Structure 1
């Protein structure tokens, strides 16, 4: 969401005003200190002229692993062990499997 805010050159105060919340509540939502509902996410995206795309992924279906990055190719953005521990139901999606998603 922070990338979308920056791309639209919108201040957090302006976004908070547009969605009808206080700047401190918006800050809490964006930092994870307050629950972010699908409705509030869609409201923020709409105010920034973005759409939200949500999909279900069958965890029982076989998943083709993405190729591992080496240090030469670039570092992966997170510690995979931590990623699986905090959100085991999430799967990485390769960028070419998204049809036109931003």
Structure 2
């Protein structure tokens, strides 16, 4: 684990009291914090240093083609990123904003 990231989770659970609310935390080699991301939450991060390395533990094997995402600057979510966003991967830039009719996911 190296560097520092601003890690964000978003509650997508249908009928949750915190539906579409986000929580952000700085994770770094120095502070040695970690975050548990429950089922039904979206996840993203912004690198705060150039030397970031993260370790993920997933409950399922990765299956290409079934993932989805939310555009990092979606106004319905309103994430307050700590740094200006200058670079986004091609894959992440293809994500869409949430439709106003989005009612969440059922777990």
Query: Shared fold (TM-score greater than 0.5)?
Result: no
User: Which structure: larger Rg?
Assistant: 1
TM-score (norm 2): 0.23
Higher strand share: 2
- Say which structure, 1 or 2, has more relative contact order (CA 8 Å, 6+ apart): 2
